[in-house]
């Protein structure tokens, strides 16, 4: 793989977390109105994402050392896409909280693998 493509891919993977949180914050008021939920419930969607993101890295790291970076990265990114689609079509705020937690856990695989690949290189 050409070095420029490696740098681009790793940059995009490391950018997952800021995109998943920073683009989401302005939508919180509309989220409460759309679901008829309390602001605390809407904020819980972000809390679930960040908590799952942080905790999942403790599991993804050893798994990627054992099974390799590529399978863990592909699994995590596949789960991230599924969780994103699930979040989009959530019928209630409770479902959205669950999907955002899954999204955070999956995002942990991408960010952790990207950091590990940088260290490996």
Count of beta carbons in the 10 Å neighbourhood of residue 73: 21
For the stretch 43-58, pLDDT in tens is 999 999 999 999 999 9
Share of the chain above pLDDT 70, in %: 100
For the stretch 80-96, pLDDT in tens is 999 999 999 999 999 99
User: Structural domain tally of the chain?
Assistant: 1
pTM above 0.85, yes or no: yes
Q: Write out the H or E segment, with its range, that includes residue 90.
A: none
Burial label, 121 (beta-carbon count in 10 A; 0-12, 13-18, 19+): exposed
State the DSSP code for 24. T
Residue 104 structural domain: 3-120
Q: How far is CA 49 from the centre of its chain?
A: 7
């Amino acid at each position: 793989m050409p070095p420029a493509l490696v740098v681009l891919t790793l940059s995009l993977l490391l950018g997952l977390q800021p995109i998943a949180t920073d683009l989401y914050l302005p939508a919180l008021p509309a989220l409460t109105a759309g679901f008829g939920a309390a602001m605390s419930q809407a904020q819980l969607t972000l809390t679930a994402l960040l908590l799952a993101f942080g905790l999942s890295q403790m599991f993804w790291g050893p798994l990627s050392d054992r099974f390799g970076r590529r399978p863990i990265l592909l699994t995590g990114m596949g789960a991230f896409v599924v969780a994103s689609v699930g979040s989009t079509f959530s019928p209630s705020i409770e479902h959205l909280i669950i999907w955002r937690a899954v999204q955070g856990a999956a995002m942990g695989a991408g960010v952790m693998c990207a950091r590990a690949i940088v260290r490996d290189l």
